[in-house]
Structures are given as structure tokens and as C-alpha cells.
Chains A and B, each alone.
Chain A
Amino acid sequence: MPNQAGDAYALTTICPLENDAHQDRSVATVIRQRLKDLPLHEHSPFARVPNLYLCRLFVLDELTYQGSPARLDRLRSKYLVFVCDLHGPLDPFLAGLWDNAKETLASIFAFCVGFKDVRDGRTFAAFIEKCQLTTTFYFNGSTDAPLAEQLKALYLKQEFAKFAMDHQGEKADALQRAFADFVKRVEPSNLAGPTWRAGASTLDAAEVRA
């Protein structure tokens, strides 16, 4: 299945936009404005979506002309491009996406052809699937673990490195006690927390306490 590399899933959707303007502004302008106004990083609505590694949105206005002797290609409509890298499978991801970000999705996708039929998670998934393109080749240069595991792993790497540095050269019994406290604090197998907050771009914002 070319959309997958292990459990990592490449969702590529290009959604045709209605050609109308909205309140005297082109639909592309309105969408760009709404995207610009979305909060970033840990405040992003996408930070609440389970198993979403990365996603991007942009408006495709036109096809780029390559210059003569290439032929000029024109699109019949503009597209909203929505690209996600996620821990699959797709169906539960889309359900989680809708459940956690439906207001954002409704605002951003409002001018996409066919979005007016979207009422709930099921109809949203049907809409996305209509706009989905099949990946020709997907390269996974990272891992395909569930996001919660990746975030926990990042938290543990950071905390364990600090532990190792803080306790360099310690005597065996003191070290063993300190490590027991460390394990109690970081709970290595508890994915719920403590862990790293999805989307956090600074260390100050990163830690989610248990």
C-alpha cells in the first residue's frame, strides 16, 4: 500500500475550492487569512489530534509555468492542499482529527467543494477520501511509532541525559536510590505522562506532568 511506510501513513488531500468570492475577497485570500490566524505549536488545534506527526495546509493557486518550449497549463479551480504524516491506520486518525479540531476544520475547509455536506466525523472522512491522492512513494526517515510513544521517548531521552549528567561518578548505592526516584518521577512506561507536550517548541513549554 503506497500510502504507508510501516505504520506511518501519508495522507495527501487536494480539495477543489469554490470559484466564488467571499464578502468581496477571493476565497484563497480568506483561507490564507484564517490559516495565518491559527495558533502555532503547542497552541495549535492540531496539537490535540492523536497520532498526528506533522501536517501542512496551503492554497494551490496555479500550476507553475516552466517557460517555452513547455506548454502552459491552467487549473480549472484553486485547491486547498492538506498533507498529513500520521501514525495509521487512516480511519481512526480521521475520527480523532474531526473530534478534536472540528471548528478549525469547518472554518478552513468551508470553501471547499463538497464540504457543505460534512456534518460529523463520518461525513468528514467521506469528504477527505474523495479528495485524497494515492502516494506514489513514501519515505519514512524517522519512526512509525504511535505519537504518544514518540513524545514519551523524547521526554525520556531529555530527562535521562540530564540524570546521567547530574549523577556522574556517584557511588553505587546512592546512584541506585537516585535512579529509583528518577524512575518514579518519569514513569518510563506511562505514555499519559509525564511526557512532552505535542507541538511544544521551547523547553519551558514542553513538559506535561503526570
Chain B
Amino acid sequence: MSNIAGKAYAMNLVTPIRGYLAPLNKLFFWLVGTPLFKSRLQGLLTLSMIHYARWVIVRGDEFPRVEEHGQGEDSVYSYMFFFSNFNGTWEQYVDSFSAAIPSGLDLLWYKNVGWPKAVPELPFHAYVEHNQITTDYYYNAYPMAASNDVKSANKVKDALEAFVTSTRGATPEEFLGQYNRLLKSLQNDLSQMDASPIVSLASEAIAKRRRDGDRSNRRTTTHGT
């Protein structure tokens, strides 16, 4: 089990909503997606801790119907699945949302059964802990890149390609001038990436056991050949 893949943390929350309110929640999400509410997302974008996140609201009878399992679920409540890929530690993430965009959270979890509100923090922590489901396997294509790094890298790539084109045939002096302008335009994007800092002592202990296991497996192989 692990919620962690490098700099990304996978959070899974499955929370009940009273059935008759679910359409209202869906309406809120629809509104949040409209230009009118773009400012609501400003906080999320500025926090810049999330690669991707999604909310999925389903009634019991909307659970998948496959063959003999054709009836879906007959749950009392509708359920909201929340899946997030964020950077940083669990507490950093949960606390940042509680502190920076509490009214947004209260809207998105509007009237979820047992939702305590995003502030104060300790009941909110307890709610998330109570409803979080551990990921059994998590894969991340760029474990060394936070969302900030991905965005910054795209900027560097675009600027670099344009620079290569525009400096073709330039004299050394012209080149230097343009190069310095390039560096200036990228001056907030030139920090280097590396492996993630540890997310918790427990997850680091597991990763270390796996690394040690891999090493001893390799040793065994070497002895065998």
C-alpha cells in the first residue's frame, strides 16, 4: 500500500451525499466550471499543489452494471468520489486548503453527510482521515516533478525552441544579447529537480525496505551467475 509516488500523493475520498441533494452538488460543480466562477479556482491555481483532481458524484443505481451484477447498488446515499494527485505532505495539503480556500471546500462538499466545514482544522482532519481510502498501487510518470516543475518545464521548452530558431545565424554578440534575455525571461524557472523529500517516516521506512530488498535480490542474482 502506498499513497505516494515521488512528489505526488494520491488521495481517495468516498463520501455520502443525501440523494435529493446530489443534483444540487452537481449544479455547484457545473457553476464552478463556468467563467463566472473562475475566480473560485484562482486559489486552487495559486496553491499550485495539484497535478489533477476530480470529483465524481454517483447515485447507487449509477454504479456500473456488468453482466450478472446488473443491478448497480441500492445505497441510501449518493456518493462523491474525490481523487486528487497533489504535491507535499498530507497535512500540508489538507491544511493549505482549509486555510486558503475554506469557502470553496464548503461549497464542493456542500451538505455531504458528516462534513464538519473546512475550518476549524482538527475536525476537518478527522473527517478526511475517516473517509480516506488507501491506494494499493500508485504510478506517476514524473515522480521528481511537482506541478510547479511541469508548468515551468513547458515554459522552458517553448522558450528554448524559439531561441534556437531566432539565433540561427546570429553573430556571437547578437547571440549573447538574446541569450541573456532568454535567461532573464526564465529566471524563475531555472531551479533543478531531484528526488522528492520524504513524505513521512512511515512511508520512508517502507521505501527503504523495498530498496534494501531490491539490493539483496540483485546480490542474489549476481551470486547466481
Q: Chain A: residues with CB nearer than 8 A to chain B?
A: 5, 8, 10, 12-16, 31-32, 35-36, 38, 40-41, 44, 46-47, 52-60, 63-64, 66-67, 70-71, 73-77, 81, 83, 85, 112-114, 127, 130-143, 145, 147, 149-154, 156-158, 160-162, 164-165, 171-173, 175-176, 179, 183, 188-189, 196, 198-203, 206
Binding site for A on B (CB under 8 A): 1, 5-6, 8, 10, 12, 14-16, 25-26, 29-30, 32-33, 41, 44-45, 48-58, 62-69, 71, 73-77, 79-81, 83, 85, 113-114, 130-131, 133-145, 147, 149-154, 156-157, 160-161, 164, 170, 172-173, 175-176, 179, 183, 186, 189-196, 210
- Which chain A residues lie closer than 8 Å to B49 at the CB level? 141
A58 touching B50 by the CB < 8 A rule?
Answer: no
Contact of B156 among A35, A64, A151, A157 (CB under 8 A): A157
Verify B150–A135 contact, CB threshold 8 A: no
Nearest CB in chain B: distance from A106 CB, A = 15
User: Considering only CB atoms, which chain B residue lies closest to A177 in the complex?
Assistant: B172
In the assembled complex, which residues on chain A have CB atoms less than 8 Å from the CB atom of B135? Answer: 56-58
Provide the residues of chain A in CB contact with B5, threshold 8 Å: 40-41, 54, 201
Q: Is the CB of B76 within 8 A of A53?
A: no
Distance from A38 Cβ to chain B, minimum over Cβ atoms (Å): 6
Contact assessment for B69 and A156 in the assembled complex, using a CB-CB cutoff below 8 Å: no
Q: Are B137 and A58 in contact (CB under 8 A)?
A: yes
